[in-house]
């Protein structure tokens, strides 16, 4: 069963966030909108039109799920692993943002990073949209990440990193809970990147997907250091001589 709207086919049986929606050419969202008697400029991507009236469908009970184009595939397929890990990253990033916003009440400087993290959560959903779609099914205005997102991350990395002292050693997660949460995000991001690299060996993957994940993990490393700086928390530097073997007689 499918529910057709002007711009999207909603498939209630799809079992994951990224593959519930399949954009179709044309329709209302493909035309300029008229608001209050004036022409409104088109947005870059089609907006979601979702009616999730039913959450469970039982169609995935035997270990398969649907891609955005409707193709059934195993839930342990590499493509599912890739965008599922992006979804996992977004969940961890949401946890970090809750901590960030709570601390921002006492340390207003953190509001700068909160706005960035909020935007990145939307970008990760855009990334999941394109990863859950086979190349032949990608629509012109389907949400995705582009070089614009990569360049913005680079600019923000440079700005935040300018506040930080030069590193003389590798850092360990810690110093603050928020720092540790950012490191969890960073490592999940690296895992997502590895899975997309593996997927790209099997089939075509937009280069911007890899560029974005690579730059995002760099950004998260800077975020982890920057939050300790903003909180006045000391960085925990790696000292190889802290190991048990180093102090043995």
For 169-196, the pLDDT digits (tens) are 999 999 999 999 999 999 999 999 999 9
Return the residue matching tokens 């999207």.
Answer: 8
Residue 123 belongs to some domain of the structure: yes
Residue 57 belongs to some domain of the structure: no
Over residues 9-49, the pLDDT tens digits come to: 333 333 355 544 444 333 333 333 434 444 445 678 777 76
CATH number of the domain that residue 185 is part of: 1.20.1200.10
Residues 58, 214: Cα–Cα separation, whole Å: 36
For position 161, what pLDDT does the model report? 97
Residue 222 belongs to some domain of the structure: yes
Residues 6+ apart with CB under 8 A from 61: none
HSE (side-chain half, CA atoms, 13 Å) at 29: 20
Residues 6+ apart with CB under 8 A from 205: 131, 196, 199
Q: At what angle do helices 78-104 and 177-202 cross, to 10 degrees?
A: 160
235 pLDDT band, cuts 50/70/90, is: very high
Residue 167 belongs to some domain of the structure: yes
Over residues 51-101, the pLDDT tens digits come to: 677 778 888 888 888 777 778 988 999 999 999 999 999 999 999 999 999
* Number of domain units in the chain: 1
Domain range enclosing 112: 73-237
**To the nearest 5 percent, what fractions of the chain are helix, strand and coil?**
50, 10, 40
Write out the DSSP string of 197-225: HHHHHHS---HHHHHHHHHHHHHHHHHHH
Residues 45, 25: Cα–Cα separation, whole Å: 12
Residue 36 belongs to some domain of the structure: no
Residues 6+ apart with CB under 8 A from 25: 139, 140
User: Between these two residues, 249 and 55, which has the higher pLDDT value?
Assistant: 55
Q: At what angle do helices 78-104 and 111-131 cross, to 10 degrees?
A: 170
pTM: 0.80
Residue 155 belongs to some domain of the structure: yes
For position 127, what pLDDT does the model report? 96
Residue 104 belongs to some domain of the structure: yes
Instruction: Give the range among 7-21, 94-108, 132-146 with minimum mean pLDDT.
Output: 7-21
Identify which of 3, 8, 11, 90 has the alpha carbon closest to the alpha carbon of residue 49: 8
Residue 246 belongs to some domain of the structure: no
């Amino acid at each position: 069963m499918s529910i057709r709207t002007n711009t999207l086919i909603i498939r209630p049986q799809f079992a994951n966030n990224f593959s519930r929606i399949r954009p179709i050419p044309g329709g209302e969202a493909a035309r300029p909108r008229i608001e209050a008697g004036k022409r409104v400029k088109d947005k870059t991507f089609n907006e979601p039109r979702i009616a999730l009236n039913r959450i469970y469908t039982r169609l995935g009970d035997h270990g398969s799920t649907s891609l955005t184009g409707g193709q059934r595939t195993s839930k342990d397929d590499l493509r599912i692993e890739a965008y599922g890990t992006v979804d996992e990253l977004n969940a961890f990033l949401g946890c970090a943002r809750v901590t960030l916003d709570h601390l921002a009440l006492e340390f207003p400087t953190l509001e700068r990073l909160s706005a960035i993290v909020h935007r990145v959560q939307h970008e990760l959903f855009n990334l999941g949209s394109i990863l859950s779609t086979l190349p032949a099914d990608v629509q012109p205005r389907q949400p995705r990440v582009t070089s614009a997102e990569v360049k913005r991350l680079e600019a923000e990395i440079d700005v935040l990193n300018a506040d930080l002292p030069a590193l003389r050693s590798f850092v360990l997660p810690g110093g603050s809970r928020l720092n540790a949460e950012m490191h969890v995000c960073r490592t999940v991001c690296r895992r997502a990147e590895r899975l997309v690299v593996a997927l790209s060996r099997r089939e075509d993957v937009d280069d911007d997907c890899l560029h974005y994940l690579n730059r995002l993990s760099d950004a998260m490393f800077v975020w982890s250091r920057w939050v300790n700086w903003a909180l006045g928390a000391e960085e925990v530097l790696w000292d190889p001589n802290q190991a048990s073997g180093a102090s043995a007689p």
